[in-house]
Structure 1
């Protein structure tokens, strides 16, 4: 398998972004059920709306591709001195091509270019592989800004 290449999403990528978001939300909701955080049920309306219309005003949607196939995404939002990444997802069948690391590297590059002081994210505590990836890229655990239990908050200083 070739190495992942990252690019910014365009309007023509809406279907691919929707499918990545669907996989991300369905996996996350199933994990929440498995970890006794919620009962099984339909996706929350906000998540269903994201899938139906994957527009993120004020944010960059970055896509990872291998051999012209979209395999991953992350959403980067820069607001003032802070930047945040959300929805980092790589198709489980395509993991190992460096897409997660490439998406993080591009998010860091863009946040630094926008003069953000730091880049932050939150991740479920059971996602050990993701936590390892973030920590290997320089993110450190900080006091939580989240109200949902079991979310670990991480931050990377950029300047």
Structure 2
């Protein structure tokens, strides 16, 4: 019988100072997997589009106006999520990723719950997100957490846009 590993959700940087790399490795895994799922697999981070390489290289600068949440198991970051700064009464959830070894243990739900609490504390009326249509598991998770499909605000094909009141 394996022991359940304790995971805590913290804001980065700040409370997560023990996780020096922060979301770097998680963002790399997220973007590499997404490129592969889009049929545009690349050999490594250096081959990703510039906008994604910048996020991985310096998430603190890229997300300076946003809130980065990390799920920590000990000193290791095992999940991440970005909550954008409010605009027009809404925030957006981006870059939700859980280390595959830790999936199925409620980390993604905990990260989204922390994001919703943060948004509510900030006076946001709704949280939105976009998810690739082939990520059925993620869509089901978001639906369980109260998100519903809404009209798209993104011109990219294959995205499902969702929103939830806070």
Task: Normalising by structure 1, report the TM-score.
Answer: 0.90
Partner of 1:71: 78
Greater mean alpha carbon deviation, residues 127-136 or residues 72-81:
72-81
The one of 25, 33, 52 equivalent to 1:27 is 33
Partner of 1:105: 113
The one of 144, 153, 158 equivalent to 1:145 is 153
Alpha-carbon distance in structure 2 between the residues aligned to 1:90 and 1:40 = 20
Alpha-carbon distance in structure 1 between the residues aligned to 2:155 and 2:104 = 32
Any stretches of 5+ residues in structure 2 without a counterpart?
Answer: none
Any stretches of 5+ residues in structure 1 without a counterpart?
Answer: 34-38
Is it true that 1:7 corresponds to 2:10 in the alignment? yes
The one of 34, 41, 52 equivalent to 2:57 is 52
Alpha-carbon distance in structure 1 between the residues aligned to 2:36 and 2:124 = 34
Q: CA RMSD, aligned part only?
A: 1.5
Q: CA deviation at 1:67?
A: 4.0
Task: Normalising by structure 2, report the TM-score.
Answer: 0.86
Larger relative contact order (Cα-Cα within 8 Å, sequence gap ≥ 6): 1
Is it true that 1:119 corresponds to 2:127 in the alignment? yes
Equivalences, count: 153
Alpha-carbon distance in structure 2 between the residues aligned to 1:147 and 1:24 = 21
